[in-house]
């Protein structure tokens, strides 16, 4: 049993680090349809939402806009917070607890062909397909929440107005 004890001791010494990111659910209206942008590591996925780590002195909102614009090639307008997701991962011999803050964003320019190197492909998907294609259930739930907010905004006639302007 000395080997099992050694493994347990090693796990105890492994520190948990907190990590924070911010990103967005970007939408556009095309005809009478809503489309959502997803980022893929390969053309076949996995598919996820753009997000990244804050730079020193940067707010979560600034991080979300910067990372989303860099990773998608789009210019976006931040509309409102959507909530957070949490997950665990291991890297470099450490365990991380990560919290990602997501925001609803509207595409106001740019082109997905201009995305940065972090993803192999960035594509628009019809709203319901984006939910199905999302590779992570917690991100699919954030997309569902975004769609509810988008539909509420469209019904209220203020999809192009941010909370700050309302």
Q: Which tens digit of pLDDT belongs to each residue from 11-61?
A: 545 578 999 999 999 999 988 899 999 999 887 879 999 999 999 999 999
Q: Is 41 helix (H, G, I), strand (E, B) or coil?
A: coil
Domain definitions of the chain by residue range: 15-156
Dist. CA 164–CA 166, nearest whole Å = 6
pTM (two decimals): 0.84
CA separation (Å) from 112 to 25, 31, 61, 86, 143? 14, 19, 21, 27, 19
Residue whose pair of structure tokens reads 């020193």 in the numeric block = 56
Strand bridging mode 47-48 / 51-52: unpaired
| Mean pLDDT over the full length of the chain | 87
Q: Is 83 helix (H, G, I), strand (E, B) or coil?
A: strand
Predicted local confidence at residue 41, as pLDDT: 86
Dist. CA 37–CA 28, nearest whole Å = 9
Predicted local confidence at residue 14, as pLDDT: 59
Q: 15-156 in CATH: which number?
A: 3.90.79.10
């Amino acid at each position: 049993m000395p080997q099992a004890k050694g493994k347990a001791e090693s796990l105890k010494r492994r520190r948990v680090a907190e990590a924070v990111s911010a990103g967005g659910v970007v939408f556009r209206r095309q005809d009478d349809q809503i489309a959502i942008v997803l980022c893929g590591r390969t053309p076949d996925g996995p598919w996820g939402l753009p997000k990244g780590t804050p730079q020193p002195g940067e707010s979560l909102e600034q991080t979300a806009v910067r990372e989303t614009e860099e990773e998608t090639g789009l210019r976006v307008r931040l509309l409102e917070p959507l909530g957070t997701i949490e997950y665990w991962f291991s890297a470099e011999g450490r365990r991380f607890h990560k919290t990602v803050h997501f925001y609803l964003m509207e595409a106001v320019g740019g082109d997905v062909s201009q995305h940065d190197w972090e993803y192999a492909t960035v594509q628009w998907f019809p709203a319901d397909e984006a939910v199905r294609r999302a590779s992570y259930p917690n991100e699919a739930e954030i997309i569902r929440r975004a769609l509810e907010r988008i539909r509420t905004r469209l019904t209220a006639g203020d999809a192009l107005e941010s909370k700050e302007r309302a």
